[in-house]
Every structure is written in structure tokens, then in C-alpha cells.
């Protein structure tokens, strides 16, 4: 199985502003692979400026926000590459694209790690954070999963939210639930 780390990836738009998207980075030896589906802004940005930052944050609103249209978060310039990272993060990686493996559906940007910096102590595992990240992935797959599977996974993840969520996880969960409620209504299931 590949080693995949769920991160907040920042690329630069053509006007130099930062663009934020949650993406899973795939570890391949010394490299990290960014694999955005087509079409996507992250993909276009990487082709125009082959650098990215991957920020590691305990604020899971970034993951929920990234899939519910809330993509505006404070960033600061990267130190070693033409890029930007999250202003609030535990640590971040600065990545430069080494080579691109083209694919019609999902090109792979094979990146070398230029720098890695720490900014804050890591505060440990929390089940509600993991549940929010899982639910954010679920939200991106609503159109391709059987409704019963969506409802079953949601019911399971909700247990961790009920038991361990703090204010950030509750807010993130609310955004995801809104999206799922809209999907339910579109299916006439509410």
C-alpha cells in the first residue's frame, strides 16, 4: 500500500495569489507525489509554476472548507521556493516538481522536498479530527457512491464527532453536513 499523507497543498495562481486545496501526498522513496484529478486549479497552477507547499495542520476546518467552497485562509510566503504556506500550521514542506508523469485523468507531479520547517508543537491524535478528514473525502465521492454506503459511513463517523469534537471540529462537521443534506435533498431522500 502506498504511504499517503493528507495535507493542505498551496499552489500559486497566475496573479501570484495562493490557492489552497486538501490533497493526499503519495510517498515514493525520497519524493512526494501530488496527483490532482483533471480538471483542477491545483493542476493548472502546478503546470504554470512547478512548486507547492504542503502544510500540516490540526485545524481540520481547512479540509472541510476545501471541499465546501471555503478556500480563503491566511498564508505567508514560503522560505525557499516561489510559493506560500498556511500561516497557521504545525509544520510545512516546500516542494519542487522534479518530473511530471502525464495521464488524462490524474497526472502525477513527482516532487523533491526542498525544505521542511516546524512552527508549533503537535497536539496529538483526536478521533473527531480524523472523522472530519474522512467525511471530507466522502463528500468528494457522493456522486459515485451508493447512498446506503454514504449513510452508513456518516453514521459511523458521527460517533467520533459526538464523543470527541471540539469547536473547530464541530464547525467543520457542520459545513460537511450542509453539503450532505443538499445531496440528500437532490436525491429526494431528506
Ligand X SMILES: Cc1cc2nc3c(=O)[nH]c(=O)nc-3n(C[C@H](O)[C@H](O)[C@H](O)COP(=O)(O)O)c2cc1C
Please give the backbone phi and psi of residue 107, each rounded to the nearest 5 degrees, phi first. Answer: -65, 155
Q: Which stretch binds ligand X (CB under 6 A): 17-25, 84-92, 168-176, 179-187?
A: 17-25
Q: Is 55 in the site for ligand X (CB under 6 A)?
A: no
Q: Is 48 in the site for ligand X (CB under 6 A)?
A: no
Q: Which stretch binds ligand X (CB under 6 A): 108-116, 123-131, 135-143, 174-182?
A: 135-143
62: left (phi over 0), alpha (psi -120 to 50) or beta: alpha
- Whether residue 59 contacts residue 175, with contact meaning beta carbons closer than 8 Å, is answered with no
Instruction: Tell how far CA 24 is from the center of its chain.
Output: 7
* 134 to 63, 126, 128, 138, 172: CA distances (angstroms): 9, 13, 10, 6, 12
- Nearest Cα to 100, choosing from 65, 52, 63, 64? 52
Nearest-angstrom CA–CA distance, 131 and 113? 29
Q: Is 50 in the site for ligand X (CB under 6 A)?
A: no
Q: Is the Cβ of residue 137 or residue 188 nearer to ligand X in the bound state? A: 137
Q: Is 49 in the site for ligand X (CB under 6 A)?
A: no
Q: Is the Cβ of residue 45 or residue 81 nearer to ligand X in the bound state? A: 45
Q: Is the Cβ of residue 42 or residue 57 nearer to ligand X in the bound state? A: 42
Query: Which position among 37, 47, 48, 170 is part of the footprint of ligand X (CB under 6 A)?
Result: 37
Residues of the shown chain interacting with ligand X in the complex, contacts defined by CB under 6 A: 6, 21-24, 35-37, 40-42, 63, 66-67, 133, 136-137, 140
Amino acid at each position: 500500500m502506498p504511504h499517503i499523507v493528507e495535507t493542505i497543498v498551496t499552489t500559486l495562481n497566475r496573479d501570484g495569489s495562493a490557492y489552497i486545496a486538501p490533497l493526499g501526498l503519495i510517498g515514493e522513496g525520497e519524493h512526494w507525489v501530488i496527483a490532482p484529478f483533471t480538471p483542477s486549479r491545483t493542476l493548472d497552477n502546478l503546470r504554470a509554476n512547478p512548486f507547492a507547499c504542503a502544510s500540516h495542520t490540526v485545524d481540520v476546518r481547512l479540509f472541510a472548507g476545501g471541499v465546501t467552497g471555503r478556500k480563503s485562509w491566511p498564508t505567508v510566503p514560503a522560505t525557499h521556493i516561489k510559493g506560500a504556506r498556511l500561516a497557521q500550521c504545525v509544520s510545512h514542506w516546500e516542494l519542487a516538481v522534479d518530473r511530471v508523469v502525464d495521464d488524462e485523468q490524474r497526472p502525477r507531479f513527482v516532487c523533491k522536498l526542498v525544505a521542511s520547517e516546524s512552527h508549533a508543537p503537535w497536539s496529538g491524535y483526536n478521533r473527531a479530527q480524523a472523522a472530519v478528514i474522512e467525511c471530507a473525502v466522502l463528500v468528494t465521492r457522493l456522486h459515485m457512491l451508493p447512498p446506503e454506503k454514504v449513510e452508513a459511513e456518516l453514521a459511523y463517523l458521527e460517533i467520533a464527532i459526538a464523543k470527541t469534537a471540539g469547536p473547530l471540529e464541530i464547525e467543520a462537521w457542520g459545513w460537511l453536513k450542509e453539503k450532505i443534506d443538499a445531496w440528500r435533498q437532490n436525491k429526494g431522500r431528506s
